[in-house]
Amino acid sequence: MDWIISQELVDYPHAVSEMERRVAGIRNGSMDEAVWLLEHPPLYTAGTSARAEDLLSPRFPVYDTGRGGQYTYHGPGQRVGYVILDLKKRQQSPDIKKYVWQLEEWVILSLAEFNVQGERRAGRVGIWVDLGNGQEAKIAALGVRVRHWVAFHGVSINVDPDLSHFNGIVPCGIKEHGVTSLAQLEKNVSLQDIDLALKKTFDTVGF
């Protein structure tokens, strides 16, 4: 299992090509599974369920991607975790729903390291936080693609991104709730801090 942390911003097409290369390597036995932690320059990605009307203002490059889900923003201050795992090796009976649940649990446990209560919401992808006064906001997104039972893509956690950059899309097709970040929740957390939490909690989840 390789843990890779990129210090520089990683272009999206390069990230996808590297994930594709790793998936092929896992399939032919030449490469290990990996978790790749990185930041992207500002961009939008469109999942397989993306609706054209949810792209409000394409102020940044827009990339079609094979992962599930709708429109997502990535940019500096957001920790992206690409998880490339052989589900056949890790699960007696490969189950994508179970794997998505595990990714959610990984984010929830990692946020708990900073006393942030991340929560699932029925019918809504991602991890949410209760802001009080009936308000809630999304703090992490998930998107998964599986090829020959090798999973790739993964999660993104808003540490301290420019939240105004989300205004160019309807994030994940959900208009009635906004997005938040650890910084907006007044948590002084660095990318390095979140990396340590993600590493610490990964084995706890039992992928």
The residues, ordered by sequence, that sit 6+ positions from 29 with a Cβ below 8 Å of its Cβ are none
Question: Region 15-36: what's the mean pLDDT?
Answer: 97
Contact between 174 and 124 under an 8 Å Cβ cutoff? The reply is yes
Q: What is the pLDDT of residue 124?
A: 85
Question: Region 105-113: what's the mean pLDDT?
Answer: 98
Gap between the Cα atoms of 202 and 205, Å rounded: 6
**Candidates 35, 172, 189, 198; catalytic one:** 172
* Residue 71: pLDDT band with limits 50, 70, 90: very high
pLDDT digits 0-9 by tens, 127-174: 999 998 889 999 999 999 999 999 999 999 999 999 999 999 988 777
Using DSSP bridges, classify how beta strands 71-74 and 2-5 pair: parallel, antiparallel or unpaired.
unpaired
Report the length, in residues, of the chain.
207
Q: Is 172 among the residues known to form the active site?
A: yes
Q: Is residue 30 scored above 90 in pLDDT?
A: yes
The structural domains of the chain, ordered by start, are 2-205 (3.30.930.10)
What is the percent of the chain with per-residue pLDDT over 70, rounded to a whole number?
A: 100
